[in-house]
Structure 1
Amino acid sequence: MGSPALSGRNNGQRLGITDPISLSGPTEYDVIKTRELEKYLQDAGLYESQEEAVSREEVLGRLDQIVKIWVKTISRAKGLNEQLVQEANAKIFTFGSYRLGVHGPGADIDTLCVGPRHATREEDFFSELHKILSEMPEVSELHPVPDAHVPVMKFKFAGISIDLLYAKLSLWVIPEDLDISQDSILQNADEQTVRSLNGCRVTDRVLRLVPNIQSFRTTLRCMRFWAKRRGVYSNVSGFLGGINWALLVARICQLYPNALPNMLVSRFFRVFTQWRWPNPVMLCANEEGSLGLPVWDPRRNPKDRFHLMPIITPAYPCMNSSYNVSSSTLRIMTEEFQRGHDICEVMEENKADWDTLFEPYPFFEAYKNYLQTDITAENDDDLRNWKGWVESRLRQLTLKIERHTYNMLQCHPHPGDFSDKSRPFHHCYFMGLQRKQGVPASEGEQFDMRLTVDEFKRSVNMYTMRKRGMEIYVTHVKRRNIPNFVFPGGVRPSRASKMTWDSRRSLELKASDSTQVDRPFEATESLDGVDDRRKRRRIDYNANTNLRNGESLAAAHSQPVEVHEVSQISTTSSCSIKDVNSIPTSANNIENLADVSSQNNGDQTAAADTPSCKEAEKLAIQKILSGSYDSHQEFPCETEELDDIDYTKQAIDFGATRQRSPMTSSVAKTSSVVVPMTSCNEARLTSRSYSNGGLEELEPAEVVALSSTGTTRAPVAERKPIIRLSFTSLGKAGKSS
């Protein structure tokens, strides 16, 4: 039986496509840990000041006035009669992190301008409104991007960053009380308008589909901070962006409607550690709609079957918001979910704290080999445009490497860029490389990737707005040669200067396992952790098995993906199981659960996380995943273009035609980079422990390297470098040619 708080919020009906896993409220421990978490987030500077909040409201009010003046001006210029001019209206909406209430200091505001049918995007929005804004002293860094997948005008207003989209409706007059959540608003809308509207429609729908908004916001703020610290927050890099994390957190809130943020964070990792991708995460059933717009449905759309980590937006037309995820980035996020789950388990024993969970991921200690991509331009404007284009293409490099090496080479893109202050108009990006774990390597095994990088560079250089000075270089750099400017303050940290949770755990596991093995641990394996290696191989094996066979947890079901009604668990003192029999509906009334612990029976909350209930939760999660997901190929094809919306920071897509390459690389005379690779089975875990291991790194035959001054040497036309990945078996110290 649901708690009074749950019934009040949901009008007695559930949220989501299944019943909750647990209706238990928080224990006293959860209340204490939630207060600790809130204080931690406050101390981390994640909340803006009251003064900044007021400034944002003032800017939004001023922007709303500007677009109202703008629409009346263009209405008069188009010859409309005076009555229509006076009635002409435009309206500003917000979405994204600001609308969700999880933005931090200095964050930009995602905004949408909704205008009437006679206010065009190209002529009026990107021309006339742009002119009005450019003449205002409060506006700076005005940068229109009309050719983006979701056209946007970027600027700063009184120092506050604004991303302004435009939606042209089929209405002559925009009412002040316009409700854009209604599907009828999409009637006769062009494709760009539908994409622009979706950000607001999805954000508002999410807020209606969570049982407690305050708990949702605190948990989401926590998970966004965690994802940024662990380097898995970036849609354009193939990880997850703001809307993706919001949807995942909202689903956990649905499954644990009476939980406080401390419990929700723990359950987030518990659920998604067990989640069997590509089963989709959905907040509500997909709506077909009456407008005939395409929706995510792998039963009908073959392209949707290749999505590896589907996270489906709840507003019509529903779509996969995480289409950018690749097999490499999915593996990295799966490992991070497991790490978060392990730490939360230890936190319950008071053997770890929030600092442990939020330890930054040491990316530049994680691998022995990296690809460095440098871009240059001749001025700030050119660099801004070139940077946006290159960032939208970088994900393709990951996909090409995965495809050309048959997923034997794993990539870890860094979700951000760096710049050397001594070099103007320059940015660089890094990608960690390692051989797939658990796969035996032959002595001297190599991957020739000349065509891979050459093909990538050709696709980038096809940028239609490319100008003189816009250059790109892809080079190989070893860990010891990473340039200093990527480190905080330009100072390379000393090795093993800090013992992290990962390294401590590795040492503990090594110590415990050393008594159970016949041979002593070699120096090359120090800090590796046998249990962690086995776990990671198991995760890698399971993930790749799913991708090859298209199997979900319940192999008995043979229909394409569809989450059916399943039996779920209501966690009470007896951990009883009950059936799901109703269809999910949206809820309205918002009710705070701050005092819900006093409404729950002590026996229930005490039993909420016992081993038996954990096992019951595991069963419930398995039942949620009972829908089969078939038609997956072993090596998903590379999509021609990014064709879904990114509701946070959409990559710019200028529509350049991309070239396809053969599945195998040859020894043709094309430009790339030499990258020697060791066969370290646990590069990420070893790096967490700040250990080099005992494997020798192979010297490249040809390398485009960074000099000591940090400058890049351009490839020589007569002798173009190649990417050659060399592997030696674990424990071997010799070099391979």
Structure 2
Amino acid sequence: MGSSGLIKSNNGQQQRLGITEPISLGGPTDYDVIKTRELEKYLQDAGLYENQEEAVSREEILGRLDQIVKIWVKTISRAKGLNEQLVQEANAKIFTFGSYRLGVHGPGADIDTLCVGPRHASRDEDFFGELHRMLSEMPEVTELHPVPDAHVPVMKFKFNGVSIDLLYAKLALWGVPEDLDISQESILQNVDEQTVRSLNGCRVTDQILRLVPNIQNFRTTLRCMRLWAKCRGVYSNVAGFLGGINWALLVARICQLFPNALPNMLVSRFFRVYTQWRWPNPVLLCAIEEGSLGLQIWDPRRNPKDRFHLMPIITPAYPCMNSSYNVSSSTLRIMTEEFQRGNEICEAMEVSKADWDTLFEPYPFFEYYKNYLQIDISAENADDLRKWKGWVESRLRQLTLKIERHTYGMLQCHPHPGDFSDKSKPFHCSYFMGLQRKQGVPVNEGEQFDIRLTVEEFKQSVNMYTLWKPGMLIHVSHVKRRNIPNFVFAGGIRPSRPTKVTWDSKRSSELKISGNAQAQNSEEVKAVVFEVDGERKRKRAEDSMDNLRNCKSFASFPPSMGEVHEVRNPISTASSCSMKCDDSEVNSISEQNSEKPGLKSLGGSPSKDTETNGSVGSKLQVNPILATADTFSCKEAEKVATEKIMLGPNEAHQAFLGESEELEDDLEYRNKKGFGGNMKKSNLESSNSMASASEETVISNKETTCSTRLTLNGGLDELEPAELAPPWLTAAPVPQRKPLIRLNFTSLGKAADKSS
């Protein structure tokens, strides 16, 4: 078997791709060929490929845009008094990046573009000034929306109906040659920080394509993983999950580790490897280079903020940066559970117990949780709503971080990556966030999560929007699952109780048969005490339990990371912004995860057998017992190889790993002393005794809609470093805020007597 996928020729020299040796050089089996064809057909049927007419239209639009910026740069050159020769030599050039450059865009997708201009073409006056004016006068340009104050300044518009995101990079050159190579490090000399960030997208995209062994297999696998992530609700950088570039980097690393594999095997190994991955070990496509320009790179040895990143996925182009710094402990937990689910389904596919439809089953977000936060925003017109919506979306991650921080990780959040519109209300949209108690934490009678002040703090920070206008409102409320508004469902119709057998419900049924039903029933019905308009009422929890979610807990992490990787487990909540829990309402699916029988003993895949012997198609019919043994051996070998990779020859983060151990040891010492990010039993008892002595909070359903601008003492940025800090790396105790969390312990029996 050749190893053409493993190497690339460079002047006759063989070159290994990646920072480690591949896990397997095994080639495809007949099984892999068949399953890959099935996958490609599935992606075609899902409408992920644009037709030839649309492809030609995009090329024409890019050509037209390139002509426009060339005219623009000559216009401003003449206006600045340059002589005619310099005017004629002045040039600007359009580059593409993102999904379009990677070749994985679909119909209707936007095109990420970069305009590279000379040193005398300024960003503010010329790009957002003159070029903006030129575009606004063109009939083919619509929805023109400049965002000059963004972290990466961008001009958004539609050109003949195609969405364009246009960035600008001002180089330290008088002329921009047509054959400019922006991958060279010298292109970053003497440029401002905004130009470095703008160039980064193109440089990273081009580097990814250079670092994968087979571009076509990479593209098919990436299309698959992007579709899967969207179906499972984990595709959103702004919500704290992963965006397009993050998924591209993760897939590219799998392609390096299995260079001769077809997409079917690459998808399977994607889930297997990242189920075993021990974050925060970084994912790297190449070694991190220091560079010669002194630009800051991702380096937890030198940059304390880099130590707080939970899921580092490092870009391969200088300056190397973490592309996934938005990930929080809650979103990391959700993604690792989804990796585990994907791994189980891929193993089931190998023994014909699942198919591609199973892998892409949509995540039942509004059926999984019992409690949600609903964030409603509105404005007076469409333009105001677009701006207000963009701002609120960028801040929603802070609400997740605040709740995690102020409840010490006891209350976990699952943000939905999209928004929903109520057609009956003009210029209005809603966001939702699932809430649940952290699994494995003892549930104390009368325990109450009071996050009203946390929500108010978040709303105040949102209302500090510099472009705020009257009519820009935000309202946050707590809703139970049965009260979710109908407009979030397809057609505005709430579905009846699910009857379709899904992977999760099927696995849940298997668990019941295996004897876990008794443990579930013991905690199925719990009482919920809550306040409405100041009057105490008694409610019984929902009797039926969801059978829509069943994922193993992520068990491969070191003990210090246990807080992050817990299986979802619901809570009891009440009132519009106050969460009060007398006892946990245990979701039957989540409860069964810890002892869920896996599929690893069901049999092996022919493709795995050939990874060690190199034969192609020779294992399609095998003795199941022998196949199981071979597969188990192969899996163990891959597991050892994956562990080695995370500890392997990557000097750039070896010191970080050692330093992490020191920090964890230091945390253990601090916990023994009674302080730090993790709450020990003594701390909980102390805070609980204080809370029990406090006056019982009256929970009101009074609306908290903000109709006026609010201010917050101190900037929000002052809160962010502590919020981003994972508990095991927090160097100082989290300051107590009053009364962000209250734990009241009352007798459930007494409460029942009073209510009766």
Residue 638 (structure 2) aligns with: 617
Asked if the contact 2:455–2:476 (Cα under 8 Å) also holds between the matched residues in 1, the reply is: yes
Q: Distance in 2 between matches of 1:181 and 1:146?
A: 25
Residue 53 (structure 1) aligns with: 55
**CA offsets, 1:703-736, max 9 Å, x none?**
257xxxxxx977999xxxx99888999x999879
Residue 159 (structure 1) aligns with: 161
Tell me by how many angstroms 1:605 deviates.
Answer: 13
Residue 3 (str. 1) matches residue 3 (str. 2): yes
Tell me by how many angstroms 1:273 deviates.
Answer: 0.3
Of 201, 204, 215, 1:202 maps to: 204
Residue 111 (structure 2) aligns with: 109
Secondary structure of the residue aligned to 1:185 is helix
Aligned residue type for 2:232 = R
Cα distance change of structure 1 residues 219 and 86 upon mapping to structure 2, 3 Å threshold:
same
- The aligned runs of 1:298-447 (5 Å cut-off) are 298-447=300-449
Q: Distance in 2 between matches of 1:226 and 1:172?
A: 46
Of 455, 464, 469, 1:467 maps to: 469
Q: Distance in 2 between matches of 1:200 and 1:31?
A: 33
Residue 567 (structure 1) aligns with: none
Residue 31 (str. 1) matches residue 33 (str. 2): yes
Q: Distance in 2 between matches of 1:574 and 1:122?
A: 56
- The aligned runs of 1:629-644 (5 Å cut-off) are 630-631=659-660
- The aligned runs of 1:658-677 (5 Å cut-off) are none
Residue 699 (structure 2) aligns with: 701
Secondary structure of the residue aligned to 1:536 is coil
Tell me by how many angstroms 1:116 deviates.
Answer: 0.2
Asked if the contact 1:510–1:528 (Cα under 8 Å) also holds between the matched residues in 2, the reply is: no
- The aligned runs of 1:156-235 (5 Å cut-off) are 156-235=158-237
Tell me by how many angstroms 1:478 deviates.
Answer: 1.1
Tell me by how many angstroms 1:434 deviates.
Answer: 0.4
Q: Distance in 2 between matches of 1:57 and 1:732?
A: 71
Secondary structure of the residue aligned to 1:455 is helix
Aligned residue type for 1:610 = T
Cα distance change of structure 1 residues 574 and 344 upon mapping to structure 2, 3 Å threshold:
closer
Of 522, 530, 536, 2:553 maps to: 536
Asked if the contact 1:506–1:527 (Cα under 8 Å) also holds between the matched residues in 2, the reply is: no
Secondary structure of the residue aligned to 2:14 is coil
Asked if the contact 1:506–1:528 (Cα under 8 Å) also holds between the matched residues in 2, the reply is: no
Asked if the contact 1:437–1:537 (Cα under 8 Å) also holds between the matched residues in 2, the reply is: no
Aligned residue type for 2:350 = E
Structure 1 residues 621-630 or 215-224, which shifts more?
A: 621-630
Tell me by how many angstroms 1:468 deviates.
Answer: 1.0
Q: Distance in 1 between matches of 2:420 and 2:742?
A: 25
**CA offsets, 1:143-178, max 9 Å, x none?**
000000000000000000000000000000000000
Cα distance change of structure 1 residues 151 and 86 upon mapping to structure 2, 3 Å threshold:
same
Tell me by how many angstroms 1:399 deviates.
Answer: 0.4
Tell me by how many angstroms 1:85 deviates.
Answer: 0.4
Q: Distance in 2 between matches of 1:418 and 1:296?
A: 36
Tell me by how many angstroms 1:343 deviates.
Answer: 0.5
What are the ranges of 5 or more consecutive residues in structure 1 without an aligned counterpart? Answer: 549-569, 577-596, 638-663, 668-673, 675-699, 706-711
Q: CA RMSD in A?
A: 3.5
How many residues matched?
A: 625
Asked if the contact 2:245–2:323 (Cα under 8 Å) also holds between the matched residues in 1, the reply is: yes
Q: Distance in 1 between matches of 2:74 and 2:621?
A: 59
Give the % identical residues. Answer: 75
Residue 679 (structure 1) aligns with: none
Cα distance change of structure 1 residues 491 and 361 upon mapping to structure 2, 3 Å threshold:
same
Asked if the contact 1:41–1:222 (Cα under 8 Å) also holds between the matched residues in 2, the reply is: yes
Aligned residue type for 2:470 = R
Asked if the contact 1:476–1:703 (Cα under 8 Å) also holds between the matched residues in 2, the reply is: no
Asked if the contact 2:471–2:707 (Cα under 8 Å) also holds between the matched residues in 1, the reply is: no
Asked if the contact 2:504–2:550 (Cα under 8 Å) also holds between the matched residues in 1, the reply is: no
Asked if the contact 1:485–1:491 (Cα under 8 Å) also holds between the matched residues in 2, the reply is: yes
Tell me by how many angstroms 1:503 deviates.
Answer: 0.5
Residue 254 (structure 2) aligns with: 252
Asked if the contact 1:22–1:571 (Cα under 8 Å) also holds between the matched residues in 2, the reply is: no
Of 515, 520, 545, 2:562 maps to: 545
Q: Distance in 2 between matches of 1:402 and 1:518?
A: 29
Asked if the contact 1:238–1:324 (Cα under 8 Å) also holds between the matched residues in 2, the reply is: yes
Q: Distance in 1 between matches of 2:345 and 2:292?
A: 47
Q: Distance in 1 between matches of 2:463 and 2:638?
A: 51
**CA offsets, 1:268-307, max 9 Å, x none?**
0000000000000000000100000000000110100000
Tell me by how many angstroms 1:543 deviates.
Answer: 7.2
Q: Distance in 2 between matches of 1:546 and 1:629?
A: 21
- The aligned runs of 1:11-26 (5 Å cut-off) are 12-26=14-28
Residue 263 (structure 1) aligns with: 265
Cα distance change of structure 1 residues 723 and 545 upon mapping to structure 2, 3 Å threshold:
closer
Aligned residue type for 1:147 = D
Q: Distance in 2 between matches of 1:732 and 1:224?
A: 50
Asked if the contact 2:30–2:617 (Cα under 8 Å) also holds between the matched residues in 1, the reply is: no
Cα distance change of structure 1 residues 301 and 230 upon mapping to structure 2, 3 Å threshold:
same
Tell me by how many angstroms 1:459 deviates.
Answer: 1.0
Tell me by how many angstroms 1:7 deviates.
Answer: 4.0
Aligned residue type for 2:505 = S
Q: Distance in 1 between matches of 2:333 and 2:630?
A: 28
Q: Distance in 1 between matches of 2:80 and 2:171?
A: 17
Secondary structure of the residue aligned to 2:562 is helix
Q: Distance in 2 between matches of 1:25 and 1:574?
A: 7
Aligned residue type for 1:393 = R
Cα distance change of structure 1 residues 725 and 41 upon mapping to structure 2, 3 Å threshold:
farther
Structure 1 residues 606-615 or 241-250, which shifts more?
A: 606-615
Residue 588 (structure 1) aligns with: none
Secondary structure of the residue aligned to 1:474 is strand
Aligned residue type for 2:6 = L
Residue 485 (structure 1) aligns with: 487
Q: Distance in 1 between matches of 2:519 and 2:370?
A: 29
Tell me by how many angstroms 1:489 deviates.
Answer: 1.0
Cα distance change of structure 1 residues 135 and 622 upon mapping to structure 2, 3 Å threshold:
same
Aligned residue type for 1:279 = N
Asked if the contact 1:438–1:537 (Cα under 8 Å) also holds between the matched residues in 2, the reply is: no
TM-score by length of 1: 0.79
Q: Distance in 2 between matches of 1:518 and 1:312?
A: 43
Q: Distance in 1 between matches of 2:564 and 2:510?
A: 33
Tell me by how many angstroms 1:451 deviates.
Answer: 2.2
Structure 1 residues 501-510 or 173-182, which shifts more?
A: 501-510
Tell me by how many angstroms 1:496 deviates.
Answer: 2.1
Asked if the contact 2:340–2:554 (Cα under 8 Å) also holds between the matched residues in 1, the reply is: no
Tell me by how many angstroms 1:536 deviates.
Answer: 2.6
Q: Distance in 2 between matches of 1:511 and 1:530?
A: 16
Secondary structure of the residue aligned to 2:362 is coil
Q: Distance in 2 between matches of 1:574 and 1:65?
A: 51
Structure 1 residues 159-168 or 462-471, which shifts more?
A: 462-471
Aligned residue type for 1:115 = G
Q: Distance in 1 between matches of 2:386 and 2:521?
A: 54
Residue 82 (str. 1) matches residue 84 (str. 2): yes
**CA offsets, 1:180-205, max 9 Å, x none?**
00000000010000000000000000
- The aligned runs of 1:232-247 (5 Å cut-off) are 232-247=234-249
